[in-house]
Amino acid sequence: MSAAIEIASVVKRYGSFEALRGVSLSIREGEFFGLLGPNGAGKTTLISIVAGLSRPDSGEVRVMGHEVSADYRAARRALGVVPQELVFDPFFTVRETLRITSGYYGIRRNDDWIDEILAHLDLSGKADSNMRALSGGMKRRVLVAQALVHRPPVIVLDEPTAGVDVELRQTLWQFIRRLNRDGHTIVLTTHYLEEAQELCGRIAMLKQGQVVALDDTSALLRRFAGGRLQLALSGAPLPEALAPLRLDEGGQAGQPAGPSGEPAGLPQKLALRVDDYAGIEGILAALREGGCRIDEMELQHADLEDVFVQIMKDNR
């Protein structure tokens, strides 16, 4: 499968600060791809370079095979970007804004597609309203519509649901999923990690301008996080053999067995890391042999937030 976006050894500096430090990524056509990282990791800088708004100091970026600097017209036609910032022209209505955006790409008589976008984003009732009269959530819907108006094969969503209501999130994701099913490549950056976990088939994580993790979402969940077995024990302390599996509140394994800190007579509450269901059998056997009685037990599956926190700690 060919690459929708090809990023090769991209470096970007602002004075002495190196925002991107040799980033390389290949995003396949038709993927729903997540780009995650803490504030200042370089996500928006990378998107700006992909969109042609900023030039790298070294490295190369291609969109649908078109180099973003040398073949910028074709690269920009292939890309639709929803920015973080609410940027709009206050002198036009919603429909006029979308018609003007269509004109930037040389597209005439685009009203049928504009009407379809407006309907899917629940903007039909605001089509003739001035942009100044819209709420923040409605303005963000218009930004999404502008990114889609020229039917680009690649769509980049930079924090598209920041500060918007639940209804818009549901409406937006239904529409974006449909576009992805129709073959559009979607690249998402978000701080709502539950969205990334649900939507993205593959995820890259950035920290301090470098890629620190890149894999299928399911593989990241299995490889980095595992599961958590919540226990309330009585009768005897946690056996020493299980001490390396004990998790602290931050999800780090290998905590000492030590006193529970619970008042006398109350169960000792703790969490153990498990990598698969087979590991639970060994834990239960060790607890029985150590004289522990299980008063409560709950298996909690790891989520992307657990993975994210762990990877960021491992790459300090």
**Nearest Cα to 188, choosing from 37, 39, 19, 11?**
37
Cβ atoms within 10 Å, residue 181: 10
The answer to whether 25 touches 7, Cβ cutoff 8 Å, is yes
> 296 φ, ψ to 5°?
-145, 150
Average pLDDT (7-28) is 96
pLDDT tens for 197-235 read 999 999 999 999 999 999 999 888 877 656 789 999 999
pLDDT tens for 113-151 read 999 999 988 899 999 999 999 988 888 889 999 999 999
pLDDT tens for 102-119 read 999 999 889 999 999 999
- CA gap 210, 6 in Å, rounded: 16
pLDDT at 230: 92
**Averaged pLDDT score across all residues of the chain:** 88
pLDDT at 231: 94
What are 307's two structure tokens? 């993975």
**Confidence band (pLDDT; 50, 70, 90) for 286?**
very high
- CA gap 98, 146 in Å, rounded: 6
pLDDT at 285: 94
The 3-state DSSP class for residue 112 equals: helix
- CA gap 85, 146 in Å, rounded: 14
Average pLDDT (248-270) is 55
Any idea which residue has 């593959």 for tokens?
202
pLDDT at 200: 96
The answer to whether 10 touches 59, Cβ cutoff 8 Å, is yes
pLDDT at 183: 93
- CA gap 313, 306 in Å, rounded: 11
Nearby residues of 164 by Cβ (< 8 Å), 6 or more positions away: 136, 137, 140, 172
Average pLDDT (263-273) is 74
- For residue 252, pLDDT over 80 is answered with no
- CA gap 154, 7 in Å, rounded: 14
- The distance from CA 197 to its chain's CA centroid, rounded to whole angstroms, is 7
pLDDT at 224: 63
- For residue 153, pLDDT over 90 is answered with yes
Q: Please tell me the CATH code under which domain 3-222 is placed.
A: 3.40.50.300
For the beta sheet containing 246-247, the strands, ordered from the edge strand earlier in sequence to the opposite edge, are: 246-247, 268-274, 227-234, 293-301
**What amino acid occupies position 253?**
A
pLDDT at 185: 97
- CA gap 197, 28 in Å, rounded: 18
- For residue 154, pLDDT over 50 is answered with yes
Average pLDDT (243-266) is 57
Average pLDDT (247-258) is 52
**Confidence band (pLDDT; 50, 70, 90) for 170?**
confident
Tell me what percent of the residues of the chain surpass a pLDDT of 90.
Answer: 63
pLDDT at 273: 84
Average pLDDT (258-285) is 74
